Amino acid sequence: MNELGLDPGIDHLTAMQIIDEVTGSGGWITSFESWCGGLPAPEDSSDTGGLGYKFSWSPRSVLSAIGNEAKWIEDGQMKTIQKGRLLEEGVRPLSLFEGFRTEGYPNRDSTKYVERYGLDPVKLKTMIRGTIRYEGWCKRMEILNKLDLLSTEVMDDIEGKSWV
């Protein structure tokens, strides 16, 4: 079964509901941060193959997304991480839920949502849509990536080769 509208979908609907409530009452948004991802319940993490993640959409897309470029606005500054550098430069600890050790990284181009969400670019100082994972996930993916195990390149001439 797929995500059935979680991403994208529920995140955008929830964002617009909050933005409309704030602007509808005469307020404005100065900081927008949205963090989402596939975190299984901690008691279910042992059966995730060491990843601490349950795939609810294309595993290839989940793993290849870490190779994307990222753009966001933070404290009034435009930030960019070049393609292939996300895990080395973009991971930060997140303290979103008490008792959960999580980390996150920017997800693609967050800046395009300033206009899409109807936010005032002059008043907005932070705009980031990010991916949340359990602590350690990004380091594991970085290692797999450096070992070229996340490559999407077709491998030719592997006959007779083994992992051992």
3-class secondary structure, 144: helix
Using the structure block, give the residue that is written with the tokens 């007779």. Answer: 160
Spot the catalytic one: 7, 11, 75, 148. Answer: 7
Q: Is 7 a catalytic residue?
A: yes
Rounded distance between C-alpha atoms, residue 117 and residue 20, angstroms: 9
Distance in angstroms between the alpha carbons of the first and the last residue of the chain:
35
SS3 47: helix
Tell me how far CA of residue 159 lies from CA of 152, 155, 156, 162, 163, in angstroms.
18, 10, 8, 9, 12
The residue whose two tokens read 């409530």 is 21
In this structure, are residues 108 and 69 in contact, taking their beta carbons and an 8 Å threshold? yes
- Could you give the residue numbers annotated as active site? 7
